Structure 1
Amino acid sequence: MGMFTDELYFKPRLQVINDDQIAQLHMATLDVLERTGIKLTHPKALELLADAGATVNGDRVKIPSWLVEDAIRKAPKRVVLGKRTGERTVTLERDKSYFGPSLDCIDYMDPVTHERTRFNSDHVETTAALCDALPGFDWCMTIGMADDVDADIADRVVARQTLQYCEKPLVFCCKDTNSVKDIHEMALLMCGGQEAFENAPCLVHYSEPISPLVYYDPAVDKILFCAEKKIPLINFPAPQACGSAPATFAGILVQASAESLSGLVIHQLARPGAPFIYGAFTTIMDMRTSIFSYGAPELSLMTAALAQMAQHYRLPFFGTAGATDAKFCDAQAGAEAAFQCLSAAAAGSGLVHDCSSWMDHGNLVSPEFMVLVNDIVTSVQHYMKGIPITRETLALDVIHKVGPGGHYLQEKHTMDHFREIKYSDLFERDIYEKWKGKGEKRMEQRLQELTIEKMKHRPAPLDQKVIQELDRMQAAWK
């Protein structure tokens, strides 16, 4: 028995580019920033960049390679997020993956009637609480746009309701720095102040440069504010091959990386060591339809490559998976989501968004799709545990005891380990006659029933004094 070690563990791993290709992509990224540069008009950011050694000529800024690499060195290699209760639940580092939903959809698919309507504030509560209920999702987002709320305050109302009805860390998008300030103030109220927030941030702000290589002033304002307040920041362009980025996969990766890293430079000049998350939504323009595809296999391929770039830089990463171009929870939706989620986990895609609600190329939220993708994600997470090899799991003693022709049903070893198998509340494995006896429910019916049941969940309520203070804040928003 001396030949066996105590434990051997291997995590399944996907690599889509090798070390030489990573080096080439990095050098090309530096070339873009140094030779082409970015378009930027924000006075404070221009001053920071010029003082640091960038070349500023009007609204064109060229960033030297040493300044980019200095920002990469200064940025934290690890970002920890927490629930509104202060519990630290998400540790972004290396190739760890944590799954969550999407943001800012405009339509909602009712799981009872399957009627498609505009997303409204009632749907915020529904989807936030559902995200809280689903164990496959480690964090939440501001999932929809709240069409029934005044546009000037809708982003804050959505964030307030999501924080109230989901305990998990929140990634949010908003229109300007005033909104970031108000949402940050709500988070501080819930978690107990700035010190508690910095120990386990319950907020992450999502910001976007405009492809190709443009920053508009409100986005830069938010980058600087997040750096000042140590709100973790995702700087996440969305370059589209053949449209706002080159048609070649390597070209779009270079531009995407340059766009994300240029924001890192500004961010770290404002406050060295402030938490930053790298990434990009890299997909294609479907030349037959002109849509920005959320289900294309190229999306997963390029996301996996960027995840490897993030691991090379030792920067936390914001990835994409679990989305679909389908309009309903059909075979297309399931196939696209499953392919993406397994690819993301195997590549180590960090904070993986879109894993539940981005349908119809980013327009539609469906609670049923959230429940379907949750089951896919939990299967992927189960798969990613790999096969631990220990004295116990090798099972030599029980194999010897049962011997040829026996069975394992009554063995203690079986009782100790059978719960390690993943069982689904959605996918059925009955024999045909038993399935008929249970009502002959097809996948769509089982999904609808499970979704309606999961939608009954609500998290532990906030203290009434906290709710009253949130009401006071909301009444003051303009």
Structure 2
Amino acid sequence: MGMMTDELYFKPRLMVINDDQIAQIHAATLEVLERTGVKMTHKEGLEILGSAGARVNGDRVRIPGWMLEDAIRKSPSRIVLAKRTGERTVALERDKSYFGPSLDCVEYRDPETGERMPFRSDHVKVTAALCDALPSFDWCMTIGMADDVDPHIADRIIARNVMEYCEKPLVFCCKDANSVKDIYEMALLLCGGKEKFDQAPTIVQYAEPISPLVYYDPAVDKLIYCAENNIPLINFPAPQACGSAPATFAGAIVQASAESLSGLVLHQLVNPGAPFIYGAFTTIMDMRTSIFSYGANEMSLMTGALAQMAQHYQIPFFGTAGATDAKFCDAQAGAEAAFQCLSSAAIGSGLVHDCSSWMDHGFLASPEYMVLVNDIVESVKCYMQGIPVTKETLALDIIDKVGPGGHYLQEKHTMEHFRKIKYSKLFERMVNAKWVEGGSKRFEQRLNELTLEKMKHRPAPLSDEVIKELDRMQATWK
């Protein structure tokens, strides 16, 4: 038995494309950027690309393959993110997965009343605190739009509220580079300055090229500002197969990859080695309803292919899972979330967003759905740990001790290991008689009660001095 001393670990693994297909997709991406290129009107961006070797003709930029491959080599393969406390909690590299919520929902479902209403700034605080309370979520986003504040500064107020009510790393969306600057200054205040931020950033900027193959000026402004200041940037188009991308999955993947990587070229020209995160929200147009589907199986398939491309390029990835087209926390919502989350984890999808609040094709945030998907992600994380194989876990001595016909309930080995089994507070396993005796609580009632309990959580408060400085910053926003 001397050979059974070291742990043999195998992580469950899924692939949706093989090495030959990866090579074909990469070659096709090079062809799109060299032959078709992207549209850009940003003067500085055009000058940077043109002077580095891109072919610029008016607002069309065609990028040679060598420029893209040079940018890929310069881009870091590892990005570590930290909580506002400085604790390093997310290490984006290889096929690791870290789960978080969604952003920019327009409506909110109140778990106490069931009412659906416009998303407000108080809902931002509630959902941020709930994200902080849910252990399966490793990072947070600016979940809703805050309908009740000045739209000119709403993006910064939302970011401030999230940073106050959640300690976890923040992925944020905003309208322009001025907003990025203001949010960055808040992050520096909370984490203790630029030196600490550069060691492990606490915020990540989410920006979008427009499919197909268009960069609007504010997106380029944000890209350049983030590169200059080493703020991690997600360059994340949203191509819709049959609408803003080819109907074939391979074609949609190639276009998506070209859109994201074209931004990498400019990004690395501005500041070689600046942190960049690749990815795209690739899904379908449902031809029966014309919606941009968040629950389609094809979304997970294309996201998985792009995750494998990211691993091939050795660039961190921004993935998508846990979303649903359902309007309520029903069987459809649970099935779509579980399928997506397990698929993303098994492929290794980096920062996996939408795992808590994007319902009704990206329109609705629901605290109950956040709690449901947190439980699903917890199960997925347990599954992804695989089965450790050691002398201890093979348990040959205890099997021999108990022998045929015995039981393990009173054994020390059982007491040492049974807590590694996942026990959900949401999914019940009682026999019917015990369930009736316990009040006959259906799933929806248990979910609602657990949600209201989790919503009581608040993170450690910021100091009065920090709050006063945040107030001063907010007073200067224009």
TM-score interval (norm. to shorter): over 0.9
Please give the alpha-carbon distance, in whole angstroms, between the structure 1 residues aligned to 2:215 and 2:54. Answer: 16
| Deviation of the 1:2 alpha carbon | 2.9
Counterpart secondary structure, 1:143 = coil
Please give the alpha-carbon distance, in whole angstroms, between the structure 2 residues aligned to 1:430 and 1:88. Answer: 39
Residue in 2 aligned with 1:61?
61
Please give the alpha-carbon distance, in whole angstroms, between the structure 2 residues aligned to 1:3 and 1:161. Answer: 55
| Deviation of the 1:3 alpha carbon | 3.9
Please give the alpha-carbon distance, in whole angstroms, between the structure 1 residues aligned to 2:464 and 2:104. Answer: 28
Please give the alpha-carbon distance, in whole angstroms, between the structure 1 residues aligned to 2:36 and 2:445. Answer: 54
Q: Deviations over 1:60-119 (max 9, x none)?
A: 000000000000000000000000011110000000000000000000000011100000
Please give the alpha-carbon distance, in whole angstroms, between the structure 1 residues aligned to 2:293 and 2:409. Answer: 48
| Deviation of the 1:52 alpha carbon | 0.6
Residue in 1 aligned with 2:124?
124
Q: Deviations over 1:128-157 (max 9, x none)?
A: 000000000000000000000010000000
The aligned amino acid for 2:276 is: F
Residue in 2 aligned with 1:106?
106
| Deviation of the 1:163 alpha carbon | 0.2
Residue in 1 aligned with 2:363?
363
Alignment of 1:219 with 2:219, yes or no, is yes
The aligned amino acid for 1:377 is: V
Residue in 2 aligned with 1:39?
39
Please give the alpha-carbon distance, in whole angstroms, between the structure 2 residues aligned to 1:193 and 1:5. Answer: 46
Alignment of 1:11 with 2:31, yes or no, is no
Residue in 2 aligned with 1:347?
347
Please give the alpha-carbon distance, in whole angstroms, between the structure 2 residues aligned to 1:5 and 1:469. Answer: 56
Please give the alpha-carbon distance, in whole angstroms, between the structure 2 residues aligned to 1:52 and 1:118. Answer: 47
Residue in 2 aligned with 1:91?
91
The aligned amino acid for 1:66 is: W
Alignment of 1:198 with 2:192, yes or no, is no
Please give the alpha-carbon distance, in whole angstroms, between the structure 1 residues aligned to 2:168 and 2:367. Answer: 18
Q: TM-score, normalised by structure 1?
A: 1.00
Residue in 2 aligned with 1:404?
404
Counterpart secondary structure, 1:389 = coil
1:242-391 pair list within 5 angstroms: 242-391=242-391
Counterpart secondary structure, 1:319 = strand
Please give the alpha-carbon distance, in whole angstroms, between the structure 2 residues aligned to 1:456 and 1:430. Answer: 27
Please give the alpha-carbon distance, in whole angstroms, between the structure 2 residues aligned to 1:395 and 1:303. Answer: 40
Q: TM-score, normalised by structure 2?
A: 1.00
Please give the alpha-carbon distance, in whole angstroms, between the structure 1 residues aligned to 2:6 and 2:131. Answer: 38
The aligned amino acid for 2:178 is: N
Please give the alpha-carbon distance, in whole angstroms, between the structure 1 residues aligned to 2:164 and 2:323. Answer: 25
Structure 1 spans left out of the alignment, 5+ residues:
none
| Deviation of the 1:5 alpha carbon | 4.4
Counterpart secondary structure, 1:7 = coil
| Deviation of the 1:6 alpha carbon | 1.4
Alignment of 1:187 with 2:187, yes or no, is yes
Alignment of 1:153 with 2:153, yes or no, is yes
The aligned amino acid for 1:56 is: V
Structure 2 spans left out of the alignment, 5+ residues:
none
Counterpart secondary structure, 1:39 = strand
For the aligned residues, what is the CA RMSD?
A: 0.5
Please give the alpha-carbon distance, in whole angstroms, between the structure 1 residues aligned to 2:401 and 2:6. Answer: 21
Residue in 2 aligned with 1:167?
167
Please give the alpha-carbon distance, in whole angstroms, between the structure 2 residues aligned to 1:402 and 1:3. Answer: 23
Residue in 2 aligned with 1:241?
241
Please give the alpha-carbon distance, in whole angstroms, between the structure 1 residues aligned to 2:474 and 2:179. Answer: 11
Counterpart secondary structure, 2:214 = coil
Ranges of 4+ aligned residues in structure 1 off by more than 4 Å: none
| Deviation of the 1:4 alpha carbon | 2.4
